[in-house]
Structures are given as structure tokens and as C-alpha cells.
Amino acid sequence: MAPVRTAASVGLALVTAVITGCSGSGSHAGSATSAAPAGVGNARATPAPTESNPPGDIPDNQVYVAYRPTGGFTGFTVKVPEGWARTGQGATTVFTDKLNTVRVTAATASAAPTVRSVATTVVTRLRAQVPKFAAPKVTEVTRHAGGVVRLTYRGDSAKDPVTGKVVRDAFERYAFYRQGHEVDLTLSGPVNADNVDPWRIVSDSFGWR
């Protein structure tokens, strides 16, 4: 009977080994599942930053329309931003939108403006009119209408009647002249606004007719 007992013992040992092996395999599989790469399934989409333009920036898609005066001296035209509010007083017409302004003034003149005449006469007058007038610079530049005297400067805006807020503005003033007529085109907006291209569009659009 000894051989029978030996065979039974061997069979029991084999069964025990198989059970132990299966148990070990199950434990290993569970470990693999729990060891997934960190962050998988927990990633969050980063929101796109909110676009913010400095106050006074004129949109790139701004449309411009021709302004032709109907009273006083009417011998010129200039493009202004479409949709801006328009006001007029005497020979001056003003177009405004929020913090930006386009001012057009026509007058008779006995001689063409020069860098010297603007630096003395006009700058002196503006010092008395514009709050905290500063950094005047007079140069002669070329626009589509020809040579023109440009004055750049800075100053405080008028106080907002509702909020009482005052904005520091940058100004560009162009003095166009032809045959006894001068047209002054003044463009202004907050100093931090990037309106180089819009102001170039407006100043380049001026033409005599």
C-alpha cells in the first residue's frame, strides 16, 4: 500500500502548487492595475487666457468712411472711423468713441505752417489750453496729400462727467495747407493704446478736392 500513499501524496502536492500559482498570478494582475501612470484620467484642460486690449485700442476690423464738410470750407475730405459720435461747433468737427477722438478744424491762413511756426505759436497756445501739456515734438512728415507739419504731445483729458476719471492722452496734430487754407487734424487717445495704424489710416486719407 506504500505506493498508493506515495501517489496520493504526489497528487495532493501538485494540486497545492497549482492553487498557489493561480493565487500569485491574481495578486500580480491586481498590482499592474493599480500602477497606472500618474495623472492618467485626472488631466484637466488649461483654459485659454482671456484676451485683453489696453483701453482705447481701436479694433483692427474698424471700418472707415469719408467725411466731407458741407459748411464753411469744403475743399477737403478725410476718412474717419464709422459709427463714431459726431459733434460740430463752428469750423471744428469732432468724432468720438469712448476714449478716442478725431478733431478736424478748417481755417484761412496767410502762409503755410512750418516746424518753427508750430513750435512757437501752436505749442504756446496748447500749453495754456491742455491740462498737464507735455513732451511736444514738431516734425515735418509725408502723407498722401504731401508734406505736412506734425506735432505730437501729451496731456490730460477732460474729466469724465459721470465717473470724474481723467485719462492721460497722446496727441497727433497734422497741419495741412493749400492756397490760403489750413486744415488741422488732431488725433488723440490713451497713451497706452496702440493706435499707430488707425491714426496712419486717417492721416493718410486726407485729401484736397
Nearest residue to 208 (alpha-carbon basis) of 143, 162, 150, 160: 143
Residue 29 lies in a domain: no
Q: What pLDDT, on a 0 to 100 scale, did the predictor assign at position 20?
A: 46
Q: Which residues of 142-173 are buried (b: 16+ CB within 10 A; e: fewer)?
A: ebebeebbbbebbbebeeeeeeeeebebbbbb
Max avg pLDDT among 2-6, 21-25, 77-81? 77-81
Supply the mean pLDDT for the chain: 83
Residue 14 lies in a domain: no
Average pLDDT over residues 126-140: 97
Residue 192 lies in a domain: yes
- For residue 132, give every residue at least 6 positions away whose Cβ sits within 8 Å of its Cβ, in sequence order, or none: 154, 155, 156, 168
Burial (0-12, 13-18, 19+ Cβ within 10 Å), 189: buried
pLDDT band at 7 (very low <50, low <70, confident <90, very high): very low
Is pLDDT larger for residue 12 or for residue 126?
126
Q: What pLDDT, on a 0 to 100 scale, did the predictor assign at position 99?
A: 93
What are 37-70's pLDDT values in tens digits? Answer: 444 444 455 554 434 456 789 999 999 999 999 9
Residue 28 lies in a domain: no
Residue 21 lies in a domain: no
What are 147-186's pLDDT values in tens digits? Answer: 999 999 999 998 888 889 999 999 999 999 999 999 999 9
What are 115-127's pLDDT values in tens digits? Answer: 999 999 999 999 9
* CATH number, residue 122: 3.40.1000.10
Residues spanned by the domain of 100: 64-208
Average pLDDT over residues 178-202: 97
Q: What pLDDT, on a 0 to 100 scale, did the predictor assign at position 55?
A: 74
Residue 24 lies in a domain: no
Domain count, the chain: 1
Residue 19 lies in a domain: no
Half-sphere exposure of 138 (CA within 13 A, CB side): 14
Is pLDDT larger for residue 10 or for residue 160?
160
Residue 18 lies in a domain: no
pLDDT reading at 111 higher than 60: yes
Q: Identify the helix (H) or strand (E) that includes residue 53.
A: none
